Amino acid sequence: MACTQPNLAKGAVPNVIPVNISGASASEAHRRLFVSDNPEYITTAISFSPGGFATLWHDEATATGKIAYRIFLWHVNELSQAIKVGITIGNGSSTDTYQVQNLRLQAGRSPGEFASFAALGICCAKALVGNTLDAAAPVDASISPNTVGLVREFVFNPNVLLGAVVEFDLVNITSTTNPFVYRVRTVASNTATANLRLHSGTTANPVDPVGDHPRGSWSFAAIQGNSINYVLGSAASNTSISNKTPVPLNPGTDNLFTAAASYNPTRSKENRGHFGARYFVTVNLQNTGSVARTGTIHLNGRGGIYGGAVKVAGVTNGVPVLQPHIEGVQVASRTVPANSTVSVALEIVHAGATNLPLAILCRTV
């Protein structure tokens, strides 16, 4: 199990109306983020091919040598039989062999109820933040020219959720200069025994999206939020991150995983909840007074129940399910000398099955 980190204790927090973070920029440009969370529910409404296959999402990129991926999988089986979902790579080169290297993952299956869905989401978040994804062997380590390889596959029963975070490197072991010719897909089969490698070619396009759950692939895998500044001794402040709600209610200030920025933008759905992504933000606790003061930093959900994981000073903890506005977790307490500033770096991952935005609450003790 890759998510043994403890959860923080939750408690009551004041309901401080948040302001949006001032902005954010893309980070982790060395890794592509691939989000397969739409259709979240795999039902009879999905058009499976005559062979019983459906592409949930796909991606390709122009690069040479190596491409790093993080794939976020989140799908519920609502068919009447067990199904299979997997990650395939179609090698379109006529000359080059590709390898799947450094495969690491946290994956689980959960029965169809909210509490277990959230627990699985928090587990995946803790493994990603804590860098404790399990090392694993790909089903097909090498993918020969003009063939389809299988990275990983999962069988799951009706009314069960599959949730996973999967990272790997796609490496061209034949040439460091030839451009990649490939397609990564998340593929579903309406049986538990199908060979997912058989689903390929130009007809294997993604099924139609359903609702607003995210899917897409982007050339970066993290967000760097602008710093949050809090003056000790002032009233408590609350800063909202991952804060986009449907326009015109709130256009958001850190919504970088847009459909327009994704591969195949017309088939994508924005990832405004930043699922599968790391979020980095620094909180500056500023003491302008003549005596030392202590400040605390808390996380609290603002859009519904929230869960996830956070790393502070190298230590990872889970954020248990929080009721919006009234519950939170304390993630840091710092005593700041007179006329000084102490900076606290946070790394946050949001859990699947929970809601955004999340707010960072600063208070003076």
Calpha distance 139→150 (Å, rounded): 6
How much is the pTM?
0.97
pLDDT of residue 317: 98
Would you list the DSSP string of 57-80?
A: EEE----BSEEEEEEEEEEEE-SS
Contact between 128 and 348 (Cβ < 8 Å): no
Same-domain check for residues 14 and 98: no
Residue 3 falls inside a structural domain: no
Same-domain check for residues 50 and 36: yes
Same-domain check for residues 101 and 74: yes
pLDDT of residue 72: 98
Calpha distance 363→365 (Å, rounded): 6
Calpha distance 219→192 (Å, rounded): 32
Same-domain check for residues 195 and 303: no
Same-domain check for residues 299 and 150: no
Residue 320 falls inside a structural domain: yes
pLDDT of residue 114: 82
Radius of gyration of the chain (CA): 21
Residue 78 CB neighbour total at 10 angstroms? 18
Domain extent at residue 304: 10-27+221-364
Mean pLDDT of successive 10-residue stretches along the chain, which has 365 residues:
92 97 98 98 93 96 98 97 98 98 97 89 98 98 98 97 98 98 98 96 88 97 98 98 89 96 98 98 98 98 96 98 97 98 98 97 97
Same-domain check for residues 259 and 290: yes
Same-domain check for residues 228 and 312: yes
Residue 5 falls inside a structural domain: no
| In the block, residue with structure tokens 């007179």 | 338
Per the structure, how many domains does the chain have? Answer: 2
Same-domain check for residues 212 and 227: no
Exposed/middle/buried for residue 182 (C-beta within 10 Å: 0-12, 13-18, 19+) = buried
The last residue of one of the domains, among 168, 190, 218, is: 218
Same-domain check for residues 209 and 226: no
Would you list the DSSP string of 110-174?
A: EESSHHHHHHHHHHHHHHHHTT-PEE---S-SEE-TT-EEEEEEEEE-TTEEEEEEEEEEEEESS
Residue 270 falls inside a structural domain: yes
Calpha distance 16→296 (Å, rounded): 14
Beta bridge partners of 319: 308
Same-domain check for residues 294 and 333: yes
Calpha distance 231→209 (Å, rounded): 45
User: Which residues touch 314 (CB under 8 Å, ≥6 apart)?
Assistant: none
The last residue of one of the domains, among 169, 188, 218, is: 218
The last residue of one of the domains, among 188, 218, 248, is: 218
In sign, the C-alpha dihedral spanning 150, 152, 158, 161 is negative
Same-domain check for residues 21 and 79: no
Same-domain check for residues 212 and 225: no
pLDDT of residue 115: 85
Residue 4 falls inside a structural domain: no
